[in-house]
Structure 1
Amino acid sequence: MKRLLIPGGLTLMLLLGGCGDDTPEGPEEPEVQLPPGSDTNVTDEDPEDVEEAEEPEEPAGKEPDSDEIDPLSFFMDDGTTAQFEGEGMEFATLTIRTDYLEEDYVALYEDNGGTTILKVYRLADDKVELVKEEPEFYDDYNPTSEELEELEAVSTYLEFPLEEGNTFDDRTVVETGATVETPYETFKDAIVLESEESENATNRWYFVEGYGEVKREFITQEEGEEEFTVTSSLESIE
């Protein structure tokens, strides 16, 4: 087959002639704006990336501490009355009424059959303080916010964390996760506190989160004598 050979110069002229087309272009067509949500609005973004971008960011702040303790959980519910069975002496039988006052204040009315003692506690994140203790109190205590704020600490009732070996005031945490028997229930996760009242006498308290104090003991033993114990144990809650 014969091939048609075109000189290189002629080829260049033909190409230049093609580039010199002066035909005027028509007016540009207006861009059509499609309504939001139209199926024709296609983007190159990955749908998963879009969803992730729309998720709100978590606010910056302190992460919750699963071990954090609510001091209020070491008191009975507001308005409840607890009966404690007594052994060892007449005044070991107790009736304790719980009354929530202003925020962070709890009052206990402790009736031992001989007198009623008012005890007021102030709650903080790291401790509970006894701020008022008054025997022979037979009325309801209705202080103002200002009166509560003016109360000064008498002693530290609890200090957190309640870990074995920790000491506050004259109290020491001697055991955690203890089993304690009461007429109301056998508790298996009690916290035991002790205080040496004298060389031969010890006070012991048993606390359970969600109930507060469920048992108390006064233990004494004179030299050459048997140990003597006075006990108040939770019997009922109304």
Structure 2
Amino acid sequence: MKKLLTAISLVMLVLFAVSCAGKVTPETPAESPAAETPEETPVETPAETPEVEPKTLTIDELYPFTANVERIYEGEGNEFAALTEYVDFLEGNRIQIRRSNGGTEIVYVLEKTADQLVEVFQQAETYYKENFLKKDAASPKIWLKAPIAVGTTWSSVAGETSTITALDKELNLPYGSVKAVEVTTVSPQGTTKTYFAKDLGLVKILTTGEGYEVSSSLKEINPNQPRVKVVNFYYPNAKDEKIFLYRKNITFQTNDIPRNLLVAAYKELPAEAVGVLTANTKVNSLYLNNDGMVYVDLSQDFLTEMNLGSGFEALVLQSLANTFGDYYGRDKVILTIDGKTYESGHIILDKFEPLQVNYDSIVDMN
């Protein structure tokens, strides 16, 4: 019986072992990314495009400085509204503009910085060319002020207030269609709107008041254009005690020194006349002084080379006074020789004694 139980136990152990051997435990697969469902797939959001603010115009863009440029404006509402502008002088951040309206010529000096365009000097009734770039006015006037944005406001002249009122005002000018910055200036006399366009500068002036409207609108811009001025030159007549008048066209470029051009033209001697400035005479200085008199300083060669009698010397001095006095629109001329009072073998002038402009006995040769 004992042997039988032992045999049964062995059989059961064998069966258990076989049963365990047949049971297969499934392998755990290596981790792999879980399959993404459509809901789990990230949706690519396009990057937001930042809003680009329009570029702010600069004062330099709105009023460029350029030499030898003539600008012509068509006028309406007034016989003096038509304008012609020319650049007399240009240096660094200052420019001297000559504006003619058919009745007068006005010279003004503008200074330009990154912050503003300012009229630092103005002088009316200025028919002669002289460099005023270093002059300053007691009350500078602001033409344009940064930032170039609607609402920018300033006041530089008593009783006037200026405001930028538009940045892209559509204008139909004789020159063509442009977009311009509008500056509105209000004063007790009325309202003036000035318009500046990129790369063109001042393109229109519109002034309104009770019962009137006057405008000057850009018509032409002529680059590399010299200014031609008619200048009167006076010479003694070689045969009698008359003085001949010859008109000559003088061509002025921007930054030309007027003295040099006048001297060169004066030395071109007409056949019938006696020379005033001798071959080697130098004009050391020539200017209109604050006392309203013209000052001209000549080199000693004027005396040593003249070699004339007293009568013709007097005619020479009168011709010289008429020529330079006429150019500046004045009737008194102070003449010196190398900084000293004028003294020749025939004529002696006291210190600050002027030569008087006199148009008697003039023979017009034109």
Same fold (TM over 0.5): yes
**How far does residue 101 in structure 1 lie from its aligned partner after superposition?**
2.1
In structure 1, what is the equivalent of residue 213 of structure 2? Answer: 229
Instruction: Give the unaligned 5+ runs of structure 2.
Output: 1-54, 156-160, 223-366
Aligned to 1:166: 152
Local SS of the residue matching 1:121: strand
Which of 52, 71, 74 is residue 63 of structure 2 equivalent to? Answer: 74
Q: Distance in 2 between matches of 1:150 and 1:207?
A: 24
- Give the alignment of 1:74-93 within 5 angstroms: 74-75=63-64, 77-93=66-82
Match of 1:166, as an amino acid? T
CA shift digits 1:130-174 (9 cap, x unpaired): 11000011122325xxx7176665111211112101111121111
CA contact (8 A) 1:218 1:230 kept: yes
Cα separation, 1, equivalents of 2:207 and 2:57: 31
Runs of 4+ in 1 over 4 A off after TM superposition: 149-153
Using the alignment, how far apart are the partners of 1:164 and 1:76 within structure 2?
24
Q: 1:204 to 1:107 in 2, by over 3 A?
A: same
C-alpha contact (below 8 Å) 1:104/1:123 kept by paired residues: yes
RMSD, matched Cα: 2.2
Aligned to 1:156: 142
**For residue 177 of structure 1, what is the amino acid of its counterpart?**
D
- Structure 2 equivalent of residue 196 of structure 1: 186
Q: How does 1:198-217 map to 2 (within 5 A)?
A: 198=188, 201-217=190-206
* Residues 215 and 105 of structure 1, relative CA distance in 2, 3 Å threshold: same
Q: Which amino acid aligns with 1:237?
A: I
1:103 and 2:103 aligned: no
**Residues in 2 aligned to 1:72 and 1:98: alpha-carbon distance in whole angstroms:** 18
Structure 1: distance between partners of 2:143 and 2:113: 11
Say if 1:76 and 1:210, in contact at 8 Å, map to a contact too: no
Q: Which residue of 1 aligns with 2:108?
A: 119
Map of 2:295 onto structure 1: none
Which amino acid counterpart does residue 165 of structure 1 have in structure 2? G
* Structure number with larger C-alpha Rg: 2
- The Cα shift of 1:237 comes to 1.3
Gap change, CA 1:116 and 1:178, over 3 Å in 2: same
Moved more, 176-185 or 68-77: 68-77
Q: TM-score, normalised by structure 1?
A: 0.62
Q: How many residues align?
A: 163
> How far does the alpha carbon of each residue in 1:50-86 deviate from its partner, in whole angstroms, 9 at most, with x for none?
xxxxxxxxxxxxxxxx757252651463111111111
* Conserved? CA contact 2:59–2:116, under 8 Å: no
- 3-state DSSP of counterpart to 1:92: coil
Q: CA deviation at 1:122?
A: 1.1
Measure how far apart 1:100 and its partner are: 4.5
In structure 1, distance between residues paired with 2:136 and 2:190: 34
**Superposition deviation, residue 185 in structure 1:** 1.0
Letter in 2 for 1:94: L
Structure 1 distance, partners of 2:166, 2:136, is: 35
Give the whole-Å Cα distance in 2 for the aligned partners of 1:230 and 1:236.
Answer: 19
Whichever residue aligns with residue 86 of structure 2, its letter is: R
Q: Aligned match of 2:176 in 163, 176, 185? A: 185
Deviations 1:158-194 (A, max 9, x none): 1111210111112111111110111011102x10011
Report what 2:167 is aligned to.
Answer: 176
Could you tell me which residue of structure 2 aligns to residue 17 of structure 1? none
Greater relative contact order, per chain length (Cα 8 Å cut-off, separation 6+): 1
Inter-partner Cα distance in structure 1 for 2:88 and 2:176: 23
Note the alpha carbon deviations across 1:185-233, whole angstroms, 9 max, x for none. Answer: 1102x100111122x7211111102111101111123xxxxx5311110
Counterparts of 1:154 and 1:204, CA distance in 2: 19
Structure 1 gaps of 5+ residues are 1-65, 222-226
* In structure 1, distance between residues paired with 2:57 and 2:221: 26
Aligned partners of 1:75 and 1:213 also within 8 Å = no
